[in-house]
C-alpha cells in the first residue's frame, strides 16, 4: 500500500458500524450489479451517505464502476473485502507489540506504527 493511500485511510478511520455497512454494501454488489436506489434502500441510508461510502471505498482502492446505471465490482468480492478499512480494535501498546511479532505484511505495518508512536513521543519529550 502506498504512503498516500495509507494516509488517506488514516484520515478516514471508521467505526465498527460503518465497517459493517461497507462490508454489507460490498456483499450486496458482489451478488450482482446494483442501482443506487437499490443500494440506498438495502443499506437504509440516504444518497449523501451512500456517496461518502463510495468515496471511501474508492480511496481504499476498491473500484466500483457504474455500468448501465448499476454499480459493480471490477474484482472478486474477496479481493475487495481485503481492502476494507478496519475499525480501531482499541488495543493496548503491549497487545499491539504482541501482534506485531513476525514477518508478514500486517505484522510489519503494525511494527512500523509502534515505532512511529515511540519515536514521536521521544521527539515531544525533548
The answer to whether residues 101 and 108 touch, using CB atoms and an 8 Å cutoff, is: no
Q: Where in the chain are the domains?
A: 3-82, 93-125
| 58: CB partners within 8 A, 6+ apart | 64
Q: Where residue 1 falls among pLDDT bands split at 50, 70, 90? A: very low
CATH architecture for segment(s) 3-82 = Orthogonal Bundle (1.10)
Confidence (pLDDT) at 4: 55
Confidence (pLDDT) at 10: 52
Q: Where residue 119 falls among pLDDT bands split at 50, 70, 90? A: confident
> Each residue of 87-105: pLDDT tens digit?
888 889 999 999 999 999 9
Confidence (pLDDT) at 124: 66
Q: Residue 114: enclosing H or E segment and its boundaries?
A: helix 105-125
* pTM of the model as a whole: 0.76
C-alpha 74/C-alpha 95 separation (Å) is 36
Amino acid at each position: 500500500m502506498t504512503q498516500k493511500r495509507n494516509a488517506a485511510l488514516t484520515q478516514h478511520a471508521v467505526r465498527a458500524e460503518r465497517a459493517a455497512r461497507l462490508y454489507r454494501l460490498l456483499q450486496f454488489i458482489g451478488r450482482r450489479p446494483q442501482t443506487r436506489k437499490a443500494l440506498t434502500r438495502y443499506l437504509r441510508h440516504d444518497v449523501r451517505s451512500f456517496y461518502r461510502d463510495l468515496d471511501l471505498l474508492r480511496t481504499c482502492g476498491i473500484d466500483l464502476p457504474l455500468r448501465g446505471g448499476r454499480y459493480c465490482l471490477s474484482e472478486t468480492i474477496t479481493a475487495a473485502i481485503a481492502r476494507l478499512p478496519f475499525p480501531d480494535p482499541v488495543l493496548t501498546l503491549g497487545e499491539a507489540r504482541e501482534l506485531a511479532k513476525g514477518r508478514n505484511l500486517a505484522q510489519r505495518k503494525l511494527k512500523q506504527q509502534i515505532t512511529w508512536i515511540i519515536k514521536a513521543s521521544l521527539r515531544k519529550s525533548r
